[in-house]
Structure 1
Amino acid sequence: MEGKASQSGTVSGPAAAKREVRRMIRERVGGLDAAAREAMSRSICLRVSALVREKNFRRVAVFAARPGEVDLLSLLDLLPDREWYFPLVHEGRRLSFHRVCHHGELVAGSWGIREPGPGCPELHAGEMDLIVLPGAAFTRDGKRLGYGGGFYDTLLAGPAAGVPLAGVCFPCQLLDDLPMEAHDRHVDMVIAPGGE
């Protein structure tokens, strides 16, 4: 769908629709209290750990939550026998993934998001058994709306092409449909609390 200029000079189309959805989701997530987010994050971690055990995934990429995101750190304690990899942000919208064995190996990084500290070994994204990724919004059939930075789009179009993908979100981030563009990747499954 091409953008069209309205009489006021603004452009409509997928990019504008995505901005509007992101704004709406920020309001929804902002309305959740900390205790509710924590309880839902625990539920999601239990569901992710059950999936990892069921499929016998060994090497799993996850992420350290920024404010308002699903907190996945308890996975390190739930399944200490698995290898957990966290993203490190580089110039050019590139992500690399590094093994983190305990919470203390995460340090403050880009945009205040915790990331692997020095000495955490890297694993090529294509060698992961599963990549668990964040998003502003998802649909139950796997459409994903990111935050607009393009980091995961770049990763999934190249180094991680073919790796199974799981999106995690709170129920208020699940929508019936999302604006999509050619470069947007679907996820293979969406994990939310309560069996969504």
Structure 2
Amino acid sequence: MPDDLANRKRALRAELRERRRIMTSSEREKATELLTAHLSELVTRFDARYLAAYLSTPDEPNIRPWLNAAHEAGIRVLLPVSRDDGLLDWVLGDGETEREGQFGVPEAVGEVLGPIAINDVDLIVVPAASVDRSGIRMGWGRGYYDRMLGSMEQCPPVYAVVFDNELVDSVPTEVHDKPVDGVVTPSGIVDL
């Protein structure tokens, strides 16, 4: 990656982290409420009975109430476990049982199903730092989700979850960056 591109991504990630850190608790609570409704709508739209998602960190848009509702509704949810080789294993999760994984990120606890378990899901919900209007997702720089999406032969719909101001006109892009089909923000679902 050229130094200029790396520096632009690093600066944008730092700016996004800071914006997330200064959000008020009431802004976060309202965003969580709206995201839960929109994610539930997305599941209904795709009639998803088996999905892949993630355990949100305190700085990320909070999708945990939605994960709990999905689990209570009998929807099977795969949650990622980071591997040292840069791939993701998957665990059938309840959205509650977790441990601290690599990089301090929460990970589900349970029977590890391996990287190919994701091939059977109806919908994938991924985290992002930012997404542009052409669907290019910028993550946090480790490449786990780009590798996962790039390895799938038949990928179901993929939606990233971001705050409203993180859906932008463009993000710095590299060849390996994989697009998403849409984003879910507190304002709604945007198909890209």
Per the shorter chain, which TM-score range?
0.7 to 0.9
- 155-164 vs 80-89, greater mean Cα deviation: 155-164
Structure 1 moving runs of 4+ over 4 Å: 120-123
**Residue in structure 1 matching 2:13, options 14, 22, 29:** 22
2:86 match? 93
* Aligned partners of 1:134 and 1:167 also within 8 Å: yes
TM-score normalised over the length of structure 1: 0.85
2:24 match? 33
* Aligned partners of 1:124 and 1:159 also within 8 Å: no
1:109 match? 101
**Residue in structure 1 matching 2:157, options 159, 164, 170:** 164
1:174 aligns with 2:167: yes
1:25 partner SS: helix
Percent of aligned pairs with the same amino acid: 27
Note closer, same or farther for the CA distance 1:161–1:27 as it changes in structure 2 (3 Å cut): farther
1:49 aligns with 2:40: yes
Note closer, same or farther for the CA distance 1:116–1:77 as it changes in structure 2 (3 Å cut): closer
Larger radius of gyration: 1
* Aligned partners of 2:89 and 2:112 also within 8 Å: no
* Aligned partners of 2:91 and 2:110 also within 8 Å: no
Aligned mates of 1:46, 1:185 — CA distance in 2: 26
1:187 partner SS: coil
2:64 partner SS: coil
For structure 1, the residue ranges without an aligned partner over 5 or more in a row are: 4-10
**Residue in structure 2 matching 1:68, options 59, 79, 84:** 59
Note closer, same or farther for the CA distance 1:76–1:21 as it changes in structure 2 (3 Å cut): closer
Note closer, same or farther for the CA distance 1:139–1:180 as it changes in structure 2 (3 Å cut): same
Residue 35 of structure 1: how far off its partner (Å): 2.7
- Deviation by residue 1:72-127 (Cα, 9 ceiling, x = unmatched): 11123323221111101111111112111351x22222233221213366671111
* Aligned partners of 2:78 and 2:118 also within 8 Å: no
- 134-143 vs 57-66, greater mean Cα deviation: 134-143
TM-score normalised over the length of structure 2: 0.87
1:27 partner SS: helix
Report the residue type matching 1:64 in the other structure: L
Q: How many residues align?
A: 186
Note closer, same or farther for the CA distance 1:157–1:86 as it changes in structure 2 (3 Å cut): same
Residue 54 of structure 1: how far off its partner (Å): 2.1
1:82 match? 75
Residue 26 of structure 1: how far off its partner (Å): 1.5
Residue 52 of structure 1: how far off its partner (Å): 0.5
Report the residue type matching 1:126 in the other structure: N
Report the residue type matching 1:32 in the other structure: M
